[in-house]
Amino acid sequence: MCSMPPEFSALAELLPVTAERDFPVPLTVGVISDTHVNPKGSRRIPLEVLDLFERFEVDLMIHAGDANYEEVHERLARIAPLIAVYGNNETPFLKRALPGEVELIIGRHRVGIIHGHQGSTARQTAKQVFGGRADFCIYGHSHIPKIERVDSTTYFNPGSATDRRWGEYYGIGIVRFTEERIDPDLVLYRTPAHLKNVKP
């Protein structure tokens, strides 16, 4: 177990998020971002998304910001320990309780997490903060699913599970870590029902 990270505030202890920042391999991580769930709205994380993470038996959940509502974290934390950062559309409580960025160690791999709203583009923000500093960087904000490698860092944006905006697909992610490798997969879908056909 690692010591309590400095960004883990007293307010964060009121959320179902873990303070752990050091994880052994092999590890399967479920990645989700930009769910934009509001308590008075009709939008929810599709049950098929939650079922997929459970079927893949993920060991850790990561939400890369813009959950918007604490209930999202509560639901994801029922699947696996949860790490989350805040986005630009969170409740005031979540903006105070969650860190803006997180660094993890998974096996021998250094992993960075950020929403990406702090700069001109999410991609550029992720590169500025974690380029050369992390082996793998998870970010959100743009709602554009993307995997790319730039120099020594791989950047992973799962897209949005609930709001594809102008894009063709909704998206979530599954990332598998071993001592030797990081294997990221984007899981893209036009309707949540399509996820029933995705096999572990």
User: pLDDT tens digit string along 47-59?
Assistant: 999 999 999 999 9
Q: Note whether 187 and 32 are within 8 A (CB).
A: no
3 pLDDT tier (thresholds 50, 70, 90): low
Q: Note whether 98 and 85 are within 8 A (CB).
A: yes
The domain that holds 27 is classified in CATH as 3.60.21.10
Q: Give the mean pLDDT of the chain.
A: 94
14 pLDDT tier (thresholds 50, 70, 90): confident
Residue 133 is assigned to a structural domain of this protein: yes
Residue with the bigger pLDDT between 157 and 6: it is 157
Tell me which amino acid residue 195 is: L
Looking at residue 43, its pLDDT comes to 86
CA separation, residue 26 to residues 54, 55, 106, 107, 137 (Å): 17, 17, 9, 8, 18
Q: Which two tokens stand for residue 200?
A: 């572990």
Crossing angle of helices 70-77 and 47-55, in 10° steps, is 30
Residue 5 is assigned to a structural domain of this protein: no
Residue 3 is assigned to a structural domain of this protein: no
Residue 59 is assigned to a structural domain of this protein: yes
Task: Count the neighbouring beta carbons within 10 Å of the beta carbon of residue 107.
Answer: 18
Residue 163's domain comprises 11-197
pLDDT tens digits, one per residue of 72-111: 999 999 999 999 999 999 999 999 999 999 999 999 999 9
pTM: 0.94
Number of domains in the chain: 1
Q: Which two tokens stand for residue 69?
A: 């509502």
Residue 71 is assigned to a structural domain of this protein: yes
- Mean pLDDT lowest among 34-43, 129-138, 180-189: 34-43
pLDDT tens digits, one per residue of 154-186: 999 999 999 998 889 999 999 999 999 999 999
Residue 148 is assigned to a structural domain of this protein: yes
Residue 6 is assigned to a structural domain of this protein: no
Q: Is the dihedral of CA 200, 58, 78, 140 positive or negative?
A: negative
Residue 157 is assigned to a structural domain of this protein: yes
CA separation, residue 101 to residues 6, 8, 43, 97, 198 (Å): 12, 11, 26, 12, 30
